[in-house]
Structure 1
Amino acid sequence: MKQLLDRFERGSAVVGTCRWLRSSAKTADQEATHPRHEVSLRFGNRLDRLAFSFEWRVAALGLRRLVYKYDCRAVLAVFPDLPMVRAAIAVAEACRIPFLVHLHDTVEESLSGTPYERMAREVESAIFRRPWQALPLTGGLKEHYGRKYGTDFIELPHPYSEDLPVSFDPTPFAATACWSGNVYAINDRSFVRLFDACRMAGARFVVTSPMPKASFYRFVDGEFDVRFLARRSEYLEFLRRQAVHVVGLNWPDETSVHRDELATIFPTKMPEYLASGVPVLVHCPQEYYLARFIRERGCGLVVSDRDPGAIETVMQRLMRETGLRAELGRRALEVVRDRFCVTRVVSVLARHLDDVQRSLRGA
């Protein structure tokens, strides 16, 4: 979201973003007719231990002061920060300004069976009271809520801000399979199968994550590398030097995570994987949105067989067939250019905010 707002079109609207960061309020452009302000709040550990139901009320107090101080015209909140979304809704309604929620996950489904299920249900009801208030991050979420509420929504994907390469060398630097991000209930079983397939292929398994290497030994036993690349430029360069990027999601019978949550997931770093020009291997059920996205656009290969041997066969193809690597890389760059380019995403948000403002003025 910060990437998106840093490029926000001048004069379109004032937007407050609610996120769990250090307290600050920053003016993006003092000379703009309607500057946007980034509003961030963070609770300390002691406050985090208090009852969950009080957190959003405390957040709302700080957010309301900032809305008045900067004369915000709209509030844009980011889910899955549930307390901040609840605070944003309360403040926006009290101040009689519109709120929008950028949905990175399902709301009710992602918190099903947790102590926060009731609040999630209430928050989802408030978000979808007016369809324009919801901005799904992915086409999977857009489809899910379209079926659930019988209406269409504006998809607002993660933007890719850097220039795309004009050309690239499809020859891999080394035989590596790169997994980016942490391992938990949505992907732990698939992670193990991808690791096993990589070992069968004689390739080096590489993980990019801020977590210590020891934390991954709970899932796999064998040699692998863990790299943490704090600088974005270093991370992007590292992605370009891999042979294959691997992405996995668990099957519904392998986890307690709600099926609709699994079926709508689209990794937030997928634009970076695709923009690297390196082939992407996706391992998940074929009906998941992630699998359909890759398959329909021809920008990677999907393996929906849970046999590590089947994954290894496809991994070998991606590492050895230069023509296939070149074609997948070309299509991947086209997808990033057409769908995730930051100028396109900014224009989608700006146009939607302008439409909302005009609609409210005419109401």
Structure 2
Amino acid sequence: MNPAPASSSNLSPAQKWVAVTAYFPPTVGGSSTVAANLISTFQPASVHVISERPATIGGRHTAEPPPGVSITRFGLPPTLHRLPFARYWIRWGRYGLVPAVRRAILQALSQGAQRIVAWYPSWPFLLAAAQAARQTRVPLFTYHMDAPIPWQQAPWPDRFFFRHRQLSILQNATARLVISEALAEDFEERFNLTSTVIRHGLDLRLYPAANPEPLASHNPLRIVHTGVVEHLQYESLRRIIDAVADHPGLRAEIVLSTPNRREDLAACGLDQPHVQILALPTHEVRNLQRSAHVLLAVLPFFGSIKKLDLTAFPTKLVEYMAAGVPILVHAPPESFLAKHVRRYRYALSVDKPDPAALITALKALQEDATLRHQLARRARHTAEELYALPRVARAFADACALSPSILKPEFSS
């Protein structure tokens, strides 16, 4: 029988830790960006990152890692990506990395690391972290970007590990960190487990406060969506793209800056004449966000994994809040995202799959200058109150029993 995990409140503050997260250096948006932002707040000598080589995810890393941080990377042979049905070979092959990842974690622990923080979903890296923690009894903290999906809905080979290991990893973690209140409620309801909310922290110095750009009536409305487009989001994004195409009275262009492959987007009807598809690095994404007239965040209305859809909170939304640009959210009314918008009133929400309602909302954002300024002001205030990186970094260090002295000075107070 495994020993009961120690409570983080009973641990002495640690001076070094190891971060286990796939996709590092980060892609634009998602769990890798959350990891990069947090890791950047710590003294480089205090953290060791164990991650994947970019080739494992198709070479789509478009942001630099925090300077000075030690990173150990693993990856599958590049030739695997050229095989027929490469996606399936890669999905299975990644589990072959588990022994090497576990050894790297053990090596970091032997060099003084006293905590393991593993990002979810990062299978099979999470599995390797759990094995190393069990072997050494070093405290393991899991940090969840998404709700754990039911094992019946997971693809193979993930399904096997979801069924037989997921719950035990959650139960044996010293603490579970979650990115939103929705995930905390989900863990309580489904697993009877407590968790600590550690939100997506953003360095607001990279987004100087600004007012929305004035709109000229003769220019098209520039609607921008940035970051990874998840497969389940295609449906809602396609609805907006089609609505704009079918309404010539609304002069608008849609810009997607994403690491997704263009052919995948085209196969789902997202590559249309009024849609511009880009793949920009992080610093250029920030400029694109700030130059937009409307920033767009979507969730599916007819997704197959309802729990994942209803608890999701796209991390790009925090960047949108800071950008000083009006936000349009298209998500089901019962989703956490829609409820969050209603609570803080930082975005215009269309919570039904209705093209006419989308056009009405876009026209309001185009024509009502007062509305645009109100939304941008509330969004910036929400970012400052909830997502400022110094506050999030201190909460993360406290939750993981890390010494505040290993935070960089600008984030420690």
Distance 1:111 1:298, change over 3 A: farther
Distance 1:244 1:327, change over 3 A: same
1:80-137 C-alpha deviation (Å, 9 max, x unpaired): 1111000001111212211111111222438724211230234432332156421112
Q: Distance in 1 between matches of 2:300 and 2:91?
A: 31
Comparing 137-146 with 292-301, greater Cα deviation is found at: 137-146
State the partner residue of 1:165: 208
Q: Which amino acid aligns with 1:323?
A: T
- Which 5+ residue runs of structure 1 have no aligned equivalent? 30-35, 357-363
User: Cα distance, 1:350 vs. partner?
Assistant: 0.9
Give the alignment of 1:220-235 within 5 angstroms.
Answer: 220=269, 221-230=272-281, 232-235=282-285
- Work out whether residues 298 and 330 of structure 2, in 8 Å CA contact, stay in contact via their aligned partners in 1: yes
- SS of match in other structure, 1:19: strand
State the partner residue of 1:280: 327
User: Cα distance, 1:151 vs. partner?
Assistant: 4.3
State the partner residue of 2:252: 203
Say yes or no: does 1:332 pair with 2:366: no
Pick the aligned partner of 2:354 from 272, 290, 307.
307
Greater RCO (Cα-Cα under 8 Å, separation 6 or more)? 2
User: Cα distance, 1:165 vs. partner?
Assistant: 2.9
Q: Distance in 1 between matches of 2:92 and 2:50?
A: 20
Q: Distance in 1 between matches of 2:43 and 2:167?
A: 30
State the partner residue of 2:122: 81
Q: Distance in 2 between matches of 1:111 and 1:268?
A: 26
Distance 1:203 1:318, change over 3 A: same
Please give the TM-score of this superposition, normalised by the length of structure 1: 0.84
1:6-35 C-alpha deviation (Å, 9 max, x unpaired): 112799xx5554432369xx9988xxxxxx
- Work out whether residues 136 and 153 of structure 1, in 8 Å CA contact, stay in contact via their aligned partners in 2: yes
Q: Distance in 1 between matches of 2:102 and 2:391?
A: 32
- Give the fraction of aligned pairs with identical amino acids, expressed as a percent: 21
Comparing 340-349 with 51-60, greater Cα deviation is found at: 51-60
Pick the aligned partner of 2:290 from 220, 240, 244.
240
State the partner residue of 1:32: none
State the partner residue of 1:360: none
User: Cα distance, 1:272 vs. partner?
Assistant: 0.8
Please give the TM-score of this superposition, normalised by the length of structure 2: 0.75
- Work out whether residues 248 and 283 of structure 1, in 8 Å CA contact, stay in contact via their aligned partners in 2: yes
- SS of match in other structure, 2:117: strand
Q: Distance in 2 between matches of 1:28 and 1:229?
A: 20
State the partner residue of 1:6: 40
Comparing 152-161 with 207-216, greater Cα deviation is found at: 207-216
User: Cα distance, 1:215 vs. partner?
Assistant: 3.6
Q: Distance in 2 between matches of 1:216 and 1:277?
A: 28
Q: Which amino acid aligns with 2:399?
A: H
State the partner residue of 2:168: 126
Distance 1:38 1:99, change over 3 A: farther
User: Cα distance, 1:237 vs. partner?
Assistant: 1.3
Q: Distance in 2 between matches of 1:125 and 1:76?
A: 17
Distance 1:310 1:161, change over 3 A: same
- SS of match in other structure, 2:204: coil
Give the alignment of 1:87-236 within 5 angstroms.
Answer: 87-109=128-150, 112-115=153-156, 116-130=158-172, 132-163=174-205, 164-172=207-215, 174=219, 175-199=221-245, 200=247, 201-220=250-269, 221-230=272-281, 232-236=282-286
Say yes or no: does 1:255 pair with 2:255: no
Q: Distance in 2 between matches of 1:38 and 1:52?
A: 18
RMSD: 2.9
User: Cα distance, 1:196 vs. partner?
Assistant: 2.1
- Work out whether residues 27 and 37 of structure 1, in 8 Å CA contact, stay in contact via their aligned partners in 2: no
1:149-185 C-alpha deviation (Å, 9 max, x unpaired): 3343211222111324344245247511112234443
- Work out whether residues 18 and 88 of structure 1, in 8 Å CA contact, stay in contact via their aligned partners in 2: no
- Work out whether residues 21 and 41 of structure 1, in 8 Å CA contact, stay in contact via their aligned partners in 2: yes
- Work out whether residues 9 and 347 of structure 1, in 8 Å CA contact, stay in contact via their aligned partners in 2: no
Distance 1:73 1:38, change over 3 A: farther
Q: Distance in 2 between matches of 1:126 and 1:99?
A: 12
